[in-house]
Amino acid sequence: MLQSEIRRATLVSLAALCGLALSGEALAALSTPAPELLTPEALRLTGILAELIIPQTDTPGALAVGAHKTIDHLLRACATPYDQQRFVAGLARIDAVAAEQGGKRFAALAPARQVALLHALDGGASPFTSADRAFFSQLKSYTLFAYYTSEAGATRELAYLPIPGGYKGNVPVTRATRTWAL
Amino acid sequence: MEAVSSFYIKDSSEPFDVIVVGSGITGGWAAKELCERGLRTLMVERGRPVEHRSDYIGEGIDPWKMPNRGLVDAKLSEEQFAEQRKCYAFDEHTKHFFNNDRDMPYSTPEGRPFSWIRGNQLGGKSLLWARQSYRWSDLDFEANAKDGHGVDWPIRYADVAPWYSHVERHAGISGQRENMAVLPDSEFLPAFEFNTVEAALKKKFDAGFAPSRMIMGRCAHLTKPTEAQAAQGRGTCQARNMCQRGCSFGAYFSTQSSTLPAAVATGRLRIATNSIVHSVIYDPKTNRATGVRVIDSETMQTREYFAKVVFLCASTLGSTQVLLNSTSSAFPTGLGNSSGVLGHYLMDHLYGAGASGHVEGFEHDYYAGRRPTGPYIPRFRNVIDQHPHFLRGYSLSGGAERERWQEQAGKPGFGKDYKAMIRHPGAWRFSLHGSGEMLPRFENMVSLHPTKTDKWGMPQLHIDCSFSDNDRKMQNDIADTAANILETLGVKNVHKEIKTLDQWPPGLSIHEMGTARMGRDPRTSFLNGHNQSHDVPNLFVTDGACMASSAWQNPSLTFMALTVRACDYAAQQLKLGQL
């Protein structure tokens, strides 16, 4: 499949998934020219998966904050060769299962199929194995790390208080309360 | 700052009153106390200068502005920080305050790992410490005499108590008066608060486990600076709990925030940085230390500094390394080592054992701020009754927090609901982990490697240290007891943990103590009751090397108190012409 086809399929599926028009930021994020460790296809797949994990809601999703690019960078700069291989192999495995079951790579599947496949992966259901499930956990760790340490993830999705000014041991939870980012 | 240019020196033939080797917690105190007693003091530091505030380069940077979001480059970490990276405080914001393992390696025997975590800059590990501050009691000072492990301490609590007060008033210790015999009160600034869950569990604990009590951890943070502290430019703790990045508020005790400004203010302090002490110079005719030999870390050139008195405050193993390398025909195995105990009786604290679980309810309670301490249960084992399996005791510390995104990756789910779940504070978790006393044993020792040297030609330290049967049994009891306490308090899904040797080797608690111990008998100890060499009267060692036992408390406050006490004694003796 041509890269442009993958990109189009990705955009269609993401737009459908979010029920929203994609922002310019998200569009730009998808067309990163030079990943550091992953192949362009693997980077794109990472972006799709990250957005499925942390989607755009009333705050930006993983794609809009460039979580996949952060993941690619952190994999190259800070991960062990073992973790790098595990990540790359995990992505390949998702594409292989997608091809086996749906005849297409993951990015080209209909959104509902993508979600169903991830549910199977998350639950370790056949054909996925415990190793595949461990990869999904790794992917989620990276996605959460990249998202919640991003500016939007920390300050818009969560409550960011770099200088609290002191410690209060009893603060009531209200509807507006959000988890502390730090 | 006008003073900067005037107090940093390189070459100097000036005879100083005192040379202080090291600038960490004890070096800073020694410099302050000696200068304030009118003595011209030279502080010799192997690392680079670090200026308060301007050199805290990792402080106050949002995670998204850090190149690796706080993570350290894998190649750099592997090549230069292979040991240091095991420290909980090592990250992208703090890595420049840790020792470079490639340049300063050390060796351990096969199968007996030891983590030697080091600071290597002006301020030393005072910039990196965890700031927990507890007094010892006579239960601790009498322990060796009572069970026969280690030599008797030549001092008791009454000898140190006024000096604890002295350092506490200046450093600033936050805590609550409790009147507990096992843990004497300090001079306190206000304590940090318990959160709602902790307060509820404390109530149950105090009622169910009396006379034991859950208290708030005491720490060297200014919760309400005194006038004197404010006058030093120190401010109130902001509860950021990112202390190891440096604190421009000056709200936690460090050399830079607290002791160095006081020493500099006297006009009597000089500092030689990038100056690696190779050895102490010894004059056999007078039986006195006359100065130190130094290798310049940048130019590799050597130089010498001279003084009437030498204080070693170069960290537990750093000071001992210098002493072992200071040989002469009078002291062929290390300066002042007629007893043969130099390098022996190395201790750390037993960490890595504890328990944690979930607390149900309290969904509508949260907290604000990142408290730099937490609930603490002082020692209760072997205080009155004797446990059948092990000697000495431990504290438990921990606290309650609500889960955040870090705890969610391993849980099932993804998508909108998953994101919404993470947006809201998660389940409450409560944990307790131990800090146990490690017995002093002759076979836990350091020596100079016969052939290996570091980048500057200093013989490498060979560290041979392992846990004893007593240590292991205590760790088992820590995990069992922590779990039992949690279950009794109603905590659910309690999970016990004991870290393996590889996960938590000796040294990683970063409370290394001993190797130049104090004692009453010159034949079995290196230092007397004033941290003074039995053999060489003008040589003092006041860092953790002096410790004859480890007790169970975080040791830095005791290092400070012993240092200022030794400074007071040395200044008096110098005046009397006795040194």
- pLDDT per residue as tens digits for the range A36-81: 999 999 999 999 999 999 999 999 999 999 999 999 999 999 999 9
The strand pair at B275-283 and B394-402 is best described as unpaired
B121 and B47 Cβ atoms separated by less than 8 Å: yes
Contact A163 B371 (CB under 8 A): no
- pLDDT per residue as tens digits for the range B113-130: 999 999 999 999 999 999
Please say if the pLDDT value at position A30 is more than 70.
no
Among A69, A173, A140, residue whose Cα is nearest residue B413? A140
- pLDDT per residue as tens digits for the range B532-570: 999 999 999 999 999 999 999 999 999 999 999 999 999
Residues of chain B scoring pLDDT < 70: 1-5
Domain-wise residue ranges, chain A: 7-156
Backbone angles phi, psi at B464, to 5 degrees: -125, 100
Please say if the pLDDT value at position A2 is more than 70.
no
Q: How many CB pairs under 8 A join A and B?
A: 144
Q: Which of residues 419-478 of B touch A (CB under 8 A)?
A: 419-420, 422-426
Helix H or strand E encompassing A171 = strand A168-172
Name the one residue in this structure whose structure tokens are 């309650």: B400
Contact A167 B365 (CB under 8 A): no
**Which of B63, B368, B418 is the closest to A149 by Cβ?**
B63
In this prediction the ipTM stands at 0.95
Cα dist. A150→A70, B15, B71 in Å? 9, 56, 14
> What pLDDT was estimated at residue A15?
40
C-alpha to C-alpha distance for B159 and B141, rounded to whole angstroms: 11
Contact A122 B240 (CB under 8 A): no
Q: What is the DSSP letter of B350?
A: B
Q: What is the DSSP letter of B539?
A: E
Rounded to two decimals, the pTM is 0.94
∠ Cα B125 B128 B134 (to 5°): 85
Q: Which of A59, A136, A170, A178 to mutate to test the interface with B (most CBs of B within 10 A)?
A: A170
- pLDDT per residue as tens digits for the range A82-138: 999 999 999 999 999 999 998 999 999 999 999 999 999 999 999 999 999 999 999
3-class DSSP state of B404: coil
**Letter for the amino acid at B455?**
K
> What pLDDT was estimated at residue A26?
52
Q: Does the bond joining B211 to the residue before it have cis omega, within 30 degrees of 0?
A: yes
C-alpha to C-alpha distance for B201 and B183, rounded to whole angstroms: 21
Rg of chain B, C-alpha, whole Å: 23
Angle between helices B469-488 and B196-208 (to 10 degrees): 110
Cβ neighbours of B363 in A, within 8 Å:
173
Cβ neighbours of A170 in B, within 8 Å:
193, 195-196, 365, 367
Backbone angles phi, psi at B24, to 5 degrees: -80, -150
C-alpha to C-alpha distance for B99 and B317, rounded to whole angstroms: 14
What's the gap in Å between the CA of B297 and the closest CA on chain A? 30
Please say if the pLDDT value at position A28 is more than 80.
no
Q: Does the bond joining B412 to the residue before it have cis omega, within 30 degrees of 0?
A: no
